[in-house]
Amino acid sequence: MPRGRELVVRAKRNNAIDIGGETVNPGDRLSLELEIAKLYTHAPLNVSIEVLNGKLSGPTLLICAAIHGDELNGIEIVRQIMARTDTQKLRGTIVAIPVVNVFGFIHKSRYLPDRRDLNRSFPGSERGSIAGRMAYQLFNEVISQCTHVIDLHTAAIHRTNLPQIRANLDNPEAGAMATAFSAPVVVDAALRGGSLRAEAEAIGIPVITYEAGEALRFEPYAINAGVRGVIRVMRHLGMLRQSRRKLPYKPVTARATRWVRADADGIFRSHIALGEMVSKQQVIGIISDPAGSQEVEVIAPQSGILIGQQTLPVVNEGDAIFHIAFFSQSDDLIEQHLEGYRDQVKDDQDDELKWGIGTLST
């Protein structure tokens, strides 16, 4: 299917897809390995790619996680999406990469062994560093064959994020995917050179980035919101049937976001939680010495919503500790939407609890 045409009016039989030297026929699912490098032991290091080729034609959606190797929530999101997908009913193709940065994943690290950030290394180079070569193979073998991308992230180590979508809203297709995902907050984020998002968009593939939770953890709320968001985007793209279920909230688009930095070194105590509304001049945290004397208040510069914060209680002066999003809509409306979102996540979690943690699937 040509890029840019999203809705499949009458589904035709899908075509076979060739990835990494393998052919996957319509209706089939295949696990394949893309050799990325060799370890010191000379054992090959592969990126595992799952191709779920629907029986009927439609978009080719890449869902990838752990480009930063310590960001784990997305891995579980990808697993749940695959467990729920029936290739006999799927329109189009899912290309799923649960762990993109296998090096970082093994070492529980964001980076590659050369300390480079894979998400600043696209589209890569055939004869470059490890990061460049890895990016090159992924970009040319996999990403360039896809029509749409959902890239799953969490906050960096010692930070946590409210579920949010980052997208270039100047790109109408990326904007429509961002709205369809229905995370509580959408951030219009500039494209950074070398990122998967920027380089895929440069060749006409719309990308949205989902950010939720913290590194090195599985967090049910972040995973639940992610699974549901990916399914909504698949519905929007015509890959799955539409649902009649109405959401109890609308995602809101931030006008701007800003990090609040620590004004002192010391022990940091937060007074607010993710998703909470703060007002201008509100005391949102305290920094003190370990004994609790010499307290310095952390003040909200403007009213907005807390979309990210540091979880490590020790800070140096200048550390970014709170990430606040500002909106054009009224505080009441924003609060109403967030409440609707929280209620839905809670309902979903109650559902999951009946099954017990660890069997969150299907």
Residues found near Zn ion in the complex (CB under 5 A)? 68, 71, 153
- 54: which 2 tokens? 């629907």
Nearer to Zn ion, 153 or 166 (CB): 153
For residue 315, give the nearest of 332, 302, 298 by alpha carbon: 298
For residue 305, give the nearest of 184, 128, 136 by alpha carbon: 184
Residue 38's DSSP bridge partners are 44
CB of 353 vs Zn ion, minimal distance in Å: 28
Nearer to Zn ion, 120 or 235 (CB): 120
CB of 151 vs Zn ion, minimal distance in Å: 8
For residue 341, give the nearest of 257, 289, 281, 276 by alpha carbon: 276
Nearer to Zn ion, 58 or 308 (CB): 308
Nearer to Zn ion, 311 or 349 (CB): 311
For residue 211, give the nearest of 245, 179, 176, 167 by alpha carbon: 167
Cα three-residue angle 54-56-62, rounded to 5 degrees: 45
CB of 153 vs Zn ion, minimal distance in Å: 3
Distance of alpha carbon 2 from alpha carbon 42, whole angstroms? 41
CB of 340 vs Zn ion, minimal distance in Å: 27
- 170: which 2 tokens? 């100047």
Nearer to Zn ion, 153 or 232 (CB): 153
CB of 118 vs Zn ion, minimal distance in Å: 10
Using a 10 angstrom Cβ sphere, with 0-12 exposed, 13-18 middle and 19 or more buried, the burial of residue 288 is middle
Nearer to Zn ion, 66 or 205 (CB): 66
H or E element in which residue 230 lies? helix 220-236
CB of 2 vs Zn ion, minimal distance in Å: 30
CB of 287 vs Zn ion, minimal distance in Å: 27
Nearer to Zn ion, 124 or 266 (CB): 124
Q: Which residue is nearest to Zn ion (CB)?
A: 153
Using a 10 angstrom Cβ sphere, with 0-12 exposed, 13-18 middle and 19 or more buried, the burial of residue 243 is exposed
CB of 119 vs Zn ion, minimal distance in Å: 6
Nearer to Zn ion, 11 or 157 (CB): 157
Q: Is the peptide bond before 172 cis (omega within 30 degrees of 0)?
A: no
List CB contacts of 100: < 8 A, sequence separation 6 or more: 47, 64, 65, 66, 67, 118, 138
CA-atom Rg of the chain in angstroms: 21
Contact, 67 vs 90, CB < 8 A?
Answer: no
